[in-house]
Amino acid sequence: MISLLLVFKNKKSKKMKKIVKEFRDFAVQGNMIDMAVGIIIGSAFGKVVSSLVSDVIMPPIGQLVGGVNFTDLKIVLNPYRVKEGVEAVTLNYGAFIQALFDFMIIAFSIFIVIRLLNRLKKIGNKKEEEATPEAPATPPAPTKEEIILSEIRDLLKQQQNE
């Protein structure tokens, strides 16, 4: 009975080692690490853009519109049911406007980065094409007409030489 348990345990540990090895290989792949770095940088960039919008862009826009703080803009739903001590149900459209500004800035930034990367990729492809010499093109196989014409030419040459 004990030997049977040891065999079962040994098979289990081999499977577990294989799973751990597969996971380690998966986690250490370049794409996975690149994705993790991208997510971390993206979240930090999102925080910076949110601060830029709420602390730098929106206050001057609020001043231009008439001294409005966009985070305070809201619509109270059913204001007649609001009681003292109970918070009103509101639609905070000012926060939504700020989120739209965040999104627009982030989307534009990503567009610019992707555009630059595509340009760099095109430049790299052009340099590769210039670096590799073009192999001479192989002539296409002759058509039936060309074969027949060349045979006729050869026969005419033969007749002239005789």
Residue 58 lies in a domain: yes
- Work out the average pLDDT over 78-90: 76
Rounded to whole angstroms, how far apart are CA atoms 141 and 137? 12
Residue 88: CATH number of its domain: 1.10.1200.120
pTM of the model: 0.55
Helices (H), 29-143: 30-51, 58-65, 93-131
Residue 137 lies in a domain: no
Which residue, 107, 105, 90, is CA-closest to 58? 105
Residue 41 lies in a domain: yes
Domain count, the chain: 1
Q: Quick one: pLDDT band at residue 5, thresholds 50, 70, 90? A: very low
Query: For 102-149, how does the pLDDT look when each residue is reduced to its tens digit (9 = 90+)?
Result: 999 999 998 999 999 899 999 988 887 777 766 677 888 889 999 999
Query: Which residue segment(s) compose the domain that 113 sits in?
Result: 2-130
Residue 161 lies in a domain: no
